[in-house]
Structure 1
């Protein structure tokens, strides 16, 4: 049996418009989900680390508030997790030296989350270095002088950011899996999202007051990671134990 299809010019035009609209919609969604990820650029120059070859690195950003950090530290202590990396804003660290001291005392790695909460892609290179240097001074006053890593405050960065961090002796660390915990979607949703973690992932979590459900989700997150026989490490341990993925950026 043969079938014959008749296409009218009007129908073809409508179909073409639909396909074009679908393409640009898909492109927009891709860019939205990829906006924080580094992009390829020139071969030379500093790069951002965002993924390792093995193990899992839990990283926590803290920019403001004093209510959610201790519950998260309590969970890590209860679950006997010795390795995690905290990226702290310099201005926050100055206001909460007791919390900084506890993070350091309990053996967790500390990185810099800038000083002020500013989008580095909107700043000139000199202003970026100024912000990082101000954070560097704040941490030095708290007797934290061996910091190796920087995470831009808003997560956005460009070549200026990488160059500024490199000139001050820091490596920019991004992430490969965003928990979206700051949107407070519910502990179950956070657990499910982080449950997608695979070997080598650097996971973004928050210990600021804006992330109200992270501490509640954390025990199940840890349980799931252990059930996959994945080891929890600091960013430094991940970089030392295996090759890391880096992306060059414009």
Structure 2
């Protein structure tokens, strides 16, 4: 009988330990999601757009690399897609003017991903402003004159970022559907993530070299979007219907 009680006590302690570990693990991931997905705040302050009312906006971030962008552009060309939006880092655009030229010639919309890949929430105001301005200078040199959209390089932004962007005549664009392609979870997983798309969604994908499976998944992704709604640029979505916005408290 004493042996039974001892064993049961150990099991109870193990069970409690597992519950505690599970709780803090869940809390960690929940806190991470809070950092990446800001909450609603004051009504009249600058906002970040993450969802629209009409169409589906497919967006690509490019921050570094010279391998993945070309295959993605080739697939978009083969599928006769002209309504995607590319957010380019100034540093990348500066090193790959020929790819930028192709993106422009194909009629795709271009937005800024800042200059260097830095977390704006960790920079001083002037550093954020300088990084954005530097990217815009690069685009001007590449004959891209009207850049009105900004995506924070790491996806993190705060009230200061929104105010700075607004003062510079830029609209911060987030996303409502993350393909998770940068994690390289497998083509099927990327397609499954995008299969949740709904009207008005802004989809995040990548054409940087870290995302090695995006090109393979893209044909199926395009087919899914086509079956859901019309593919539109972010600017078209903003100007042709209501949009959902997010703010930082």
Distance 1:44 1:239 in 2: 18
Deviation at 1:130, TM superposition (A): 0.6
List aligned pairs for 1:130-209, cutoff 5 A. 130-209=130-209
Q: Deviations over 1:171-209 (max 9, x none)?
A: 000001111111111111111111111111100000011
Q: 1:80-125: CA deviations, max 9, x gaps?
A: 1110000000011111110000001100000000000101000011
TM-score (normalised: structure 2): 0.89
Deviation at 1:29, TM superposition (A): 3.2
After TM superposition, the structure 1 = structure 2 runs for residues 6-17 of structure 1, keeping only pairs within 5 Å, are none
Within 5 Å, give how 1:33-72 maps onto structure 2: 33-72=33-72
Aligned residue number for residue 220 of structure 2: 220
Q: 1:38, 1:48 within 8 Å by CA — same for their partners in 2?
A: no
Aligned residues: 239
For residue 46 of structure 1, give the secondary structure of its aligned residue in structure 2: coil
- Secondary structure of 2:172's counterpart equals strand
Give the superposition deviation at 1:38: 2.1
CA distance in 2, matches of 1:179, 1:126: 32
Return 30-39 or 206-215, whichever deviates more: 30-39
> How far is 1:18 from its partner?
8.7
- Partner of residue 230, structure 2: 231
SS in structure 2 at match of 1:61? strand
Q: CA RMSD in A?
A: 2.1
1:128 partnered with 2:119: no
Structure 2: tracts of 5 or more residues without a match: 1-13
Q: CA deviation at 1:142?
A: 0.6
Task: State the SS of the aligned residue for 2:75.
Answer: helix
Q: How far apart, CA to CA, are the structure 2 residues paired with 1:166 and 1:114?
A: 14
1:97 aligns with 2:97: yes
Given that 1:124 and 1:160 are in contact with CA atoms closer than 8 Å, whether structure 2 keeps it comes out as: no
Q: CA deviation at 1:30?
A: 2.9
> What is the TM-score normalised by the length of structure 1?
0.89
Query: Gaps spanning 5+ residues in structure 1: where?
Result: 1-13
Distance in 1 (CA, whole Å) between partners of 2:20 and 2:44 is 37
C-alpha distance in structure 2 between counterparts of 1:43 and 1:224, whole Å: 35
User: 1:86: which partner in 2?
Assistant: 86
